[in-house]
Each structure stands twice: as C-alpha cells, then as structure tokens.
Amino acid sequence: MGSLDAVHKTLAEEGFLATRLDTFVNWGRKNSLWPMPLGLSCCGIEMMAMVGPRYDIARFGAEALRFSPRQADLLIVAGTLTWKMAEVARTIYDQMPDPKWVISMGVCASTGGMYDTYSVVQGVDMILPVDIYVPGCPPRPDAVIDGMLKLQKRIELERPVKNLMEDRSADNEWIEGHGEMIRQENQAVPQHDPSAGVASDESR
C-alpha cells in the first residue's frame, strides 16, 4: 500500500473499522501463538532447545507450549513423519481450533529429506496445509525462531474480520494434495490461497 489511492481503495472496500479491527486481532494473535509441539524425532530436541534457557521463545510470546491440540493454535511438526504417524498428526491437526497455523520444521517434515523410504511421508504437506517451512537437519533454534517471526508477519496480512463479514471461510480451505502438486509440477502455489505454503512471504 504505497500510494494514497490504495489506502482509499481499502477503506472504501472494507471500511475503516474493519481494517483497524483486523490489525488489532492480528496483533493479538501473532504475539501469543500457543504452539503444539509435535516432536517426532531429532528436531524435537532442537525444539526443546528453542524453549530452553538460551533461545527462549518466550521473547516472542510463544512459550506457552500446549500438549493438548485443543488449546493450541500453532502446530510445529518437528521431525520425520511416517505413514503410521500420519493418522495421528492429521487427527491432532483436526482437533486444533481455528485459526491455526503449521510450521514444518526440518527437511524430513518438509520433504521427507534423506528418508526416501517405504515408511516415511514425503513431506507433511501431503496430509496437512503448511504455512512455513524451516529447512535444516535439524534446523538450529534460531532458524525456527526466524520461521516463527515470518509466520507472525504472515498473520499480520490476514483479514479475520473482513473474512467474517463476508463469510470467506471457503478461501481458507486447503487444496487437496497440493503438496504433491507442487512437487510434481514444480510450479508456484496459487496466489489466492492463504493457507498454501511458501517459504518466503515478503512478496505479498
């Protein structure tokens, strides 16, 4: 929104109150993410280090780790997801209340990584929508914190009130199997899909 025209346009379309309210709601949401740590393997240890004394994610308001999905709004999938575990992960995701976001931590969760074997899911995006991918094997805690900050920026761009007013929940629906689609066609995710995964969000 560089020029003043854009501001007028936004105000005309959405109204001053809705935009202000969106900002307020997003401010609240992004600064109090409650992560549900799905620590599956090695990355789980680095996730513990992230909570630990040195990296201390309390600085970013995300220290309230909830082991019950019903109390969490951020799912951190940390580690290798197997097909046997996939049912559990999907159930956990389904049990989380909206709005919810997903961070895929580590290459195993993002693409299957080095485990191109008979039992490993080749990317958690085959079963869940993912917002942020954090690379690394395992990623250093700083990298995950960076991913979390990127997610906060992304949450700022959401329009919760406007979606509520216009009932645009359909826009938030995840495209079935889009993870496979990305891999197979190697093309960008459609721009209008807010829950589709992209690594960098600054372009929006």
Partner 1 sequence: MSPEDSKLAADTIEYRPGQMAEPADHDDPLHGAQVELNIGPSHPATHGVLRLKVLADGEVLTRIEPVIGYLHRGKEKACESLGWRKFFVHTDRLDYLQPMLNNVGYAMALEKLAHLEVPERAQVIRVLMMETNRIMSHLIALGVSAMDLGAISMFFFTFDQREKIYDLIDAYTGHRMNNTYIRMGGVYADLEEELERHFSAFFDNFIEQVDEWESLLTGNRIWYERNRGIGAITAEQALSWGLTGPNLRGSGVAYDLRKSEPYCGYEDYDFEIPIGERGDAFDRYLVRIEELRQSARICTQALERLKSSRGANVIADDRRYVLPRLSDVTSSMEELIHQFKIVTDMSLPRGEAYMGVESSKGELGFYIASDGTAAPLRCHLRSPSLMNVQVIPFLAEGKLLSDVVAVLGSVDFVMGEVDR
Partner 2 sequence: MNDQSSTTERVSCGLTGQKYETLESRDGMLTLRVEITEARALLLALHKECAFEINTLVTAVDHGIEREDEDKPRFDMIWQFQSVSHADRIRIHSWAKSQEPVAPSIADLWSGATYGERECFDMFGVIFEGHEGLKRLLMPEAYDHFPLRKDFPHQGIEPDRLYKAWDRERRQEEGGEA
Structure-token pair, residue 62: 């995300």
Residue type (1 letter), 133: Y
Which CB atom, from 94 or from 142, has the smaller least distance to partner 2?
94
Give, as ranges, the residues between 86 and 115 that touch partner 1 (CB under 8 A).
Answer: 87-88, 91-92, 94-95, 114-115
- Contact between 9 and partner 2 by CB under 8 A: the answer reads no
Q: How far is the CB of 83 from partner 2 (least distance, A)?
A: 5
Least Cα distance to 89 among 50, 47, 65, 121 occurs for 121
Least Cα distance to 51 among 73, 70, 30, 35 occurs for 35
Give, as ranges, the residues between 106 and 165 that touch partner 2 (CB under 8 A).
Answer: 116-121, 126-127
Q: How far is the CB of 13 from partner 2 (least distance, A)?
A: 31
**Interface pick for partner 1 out of 35, 72, 82, 198 (rule CB under 8 A):** 82
Which CB atom, from 27 or from 83, has the smaller least distance to partner 2?
83
- CA separation for the pair 126, 137 (Å, rounded): 20
Tally of CB atoms within 10 A around 31: 12
Contacts for 118 with CB less than 8 Å, ≥ 6 apart: none
Q: How far is the CB of 59 from partner 1 (least distance, A)?
A: 15
Residue type (1 letter), 123: G
Binding site for partner 2 (CB under 8 A): 83-84, 86-87, 90, 94, 116-121, 126-127
